[in-house]
């Protein structure tokens, strides 16, 4: 039983093929990490899955239902939520109002949405900041806000784009712990991450992309040692010889 299935997704922009025939499945409750050097098509993949881009080929399905071709808001209502790499809080609104926008997708009642929002803010550790304006938050707090907002839509699958990017070292473990708790709560997650330590610690499985293609798909230890992955990140000279490798 697959929660999210990505099959044969190809996306071109003029002369550049950002995603070339990318396929993988995500089981319910799985946490899959997506890695790859810059330009490998990770964010494009998220844009395709969440409905912001229409792929030139391929399909994305959520619990069997087709997502490709639907508008982003429909995709969200069907159960896929996401965060953005470049944070996009609703700067003119308060923190709780921000989260309410997400909650209002699931409930019509403004008061109920507010209660939900406050609850989620508590869970992500932003309870005290509920009535502050979103623009007064630090980067780490904004990351949590973005997460809280997406969670408020009660997603079946959550796409996290660079959750630790730009966050100071001390705040990282807290964020990682949060993601882990969400995972333990049964949420299916797809996480793009550059920080190798974070991603190998969190993921049950890693999909590696390079120049638009999937080059590896498996448990973290295996993928990290995969020849093609090392080559992609560090160049051919560093690819470890087939028998054994330094670690």
By CB under 8 A, residue 201 contacts other proteins: no
By CB under 8 A, residue 44 contacts other proteins: no
By CB under 8 A, residue 238 contacts other proteins: no
By CB under 8 A, residue 52 contacts other proteins: yes
**CA-CA-CA-CA torsion for 8, 188, 232, 17, nearest 10 degrees?**
30
Judge whether 205 and 30 are in contact, CB under 8 Å.
Answer: yes
Q: Where are the beta strands (DSSP E) in the chain?
A: 4-13, 16-26, 31-35, 57-62, 65-66, 80-82, 157-161, 188-192, 205-210, 213-218
Toward other proteins, which CB reaches closer, 101 or 115? 101
Q: How many chain residues bind other proteins (CB under 8 A)?
A: 30
Q: What's the rounded Cα separation, in Å, for the pair 212 and 44?
A: 9
Residues 77-136 binding other proteins (CB under 8 A) are: 77, 81-82, 84, 88-93, 97, 100-102, 104-105, 108-110, 113
CB of 227 to other proteins, least distance (A): 36
**Sole window of 119-127, 144-152, 180-188, 205-213 interacting with other proteins (rule: CB under 8 A):** 144-152
Work out the angle between the directed axes of helices 139-151 and 172-184 (0-180°, nearest 10). Answer: 10
String marking each residue 169-188 x if it binds other proteins according to CB under 8 A: --------------------
Using the rule CB under 8 A, which residue among 145, 150, 198, 209 binds other proteins? 150
What's the angle, vertex CA 210, arms to CA 190 and CA 221, rounded to 5? 60
User: Exposure of 66 by Cβ count < 10 A (0-12 exposed, 13-18 middle, 19+ buried)?
Assistant: exposed
Backbone angles phi, psi at 210, to 5 degrees: -150, 125
CB of 153 to other proteins, least distance (A): 5
CB of 200 to other proteins, least distance (A): 28
Residues 3-42 binding other proteins (CB under 8 A) are: none
Judge whether 30 and 3 are in contact, CB under 8 Å.
Answer: yes
CB of 122 to other proteins, least distance (A): 19
SS3 22: strand
Q: Which residues bind other proteins (CB under 8 A)?
A: 50, 52, 71-73, 76-77, 81-82, 84, 88-93, 97, 100-102, 104-105, 108-110, 113, 149-150, 152-153
């Amino acid at each position: 039983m697959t929660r999210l299935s990505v099959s044969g997704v190809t996306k071109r922009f003029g002369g550049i093929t950002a995603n070339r025939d990318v396929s993988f499945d995500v089981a319910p409750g799985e946490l899959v990490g997506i890695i790859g050097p810059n330009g490998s098509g990770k964010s494009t993949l998220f844009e395709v899955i969440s409905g912001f881009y229409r792929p030139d080929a391929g399909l994305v399905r959520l619990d069997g239902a087709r997502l490709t071709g639907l508008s982003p808001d429909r995709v969200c209502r069907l159960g896929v939520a996401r965060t953005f790499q470049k944070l996009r809080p609703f700067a003119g609104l308060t923190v709780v109002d921000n989260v309410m926008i997400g909650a209002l997708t699931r409930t019509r009642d403004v008061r109920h949405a507010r209660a939900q929002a406050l609850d989620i803010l508590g869970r992500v550790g932003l309870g005290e900041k509920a009535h502050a304006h979103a623009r007064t938050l630090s980067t780490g707090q904004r990351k949590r806000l973005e997460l809280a907002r997406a969670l408020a839509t009660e997603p079946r699958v959550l796409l996290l784009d660079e959750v630790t990017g730009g966050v100071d070292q001390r705040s990282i473990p807290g964020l990682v712990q949060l993601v882990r708790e969400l995972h333990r709560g049964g949420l299916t997650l797809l996480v793009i991450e550059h920080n190798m330590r974070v991603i190998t610690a969190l993921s049950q499985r890693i999909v590696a992309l390079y120049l638009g293609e999937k080059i590896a798909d498996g448990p973290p230890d295996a993928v990290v040692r995969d020849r093609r992955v090392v080559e992609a990140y560090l160049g051919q000279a560093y690819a470890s010889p087939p028998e054994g490798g330094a670690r």
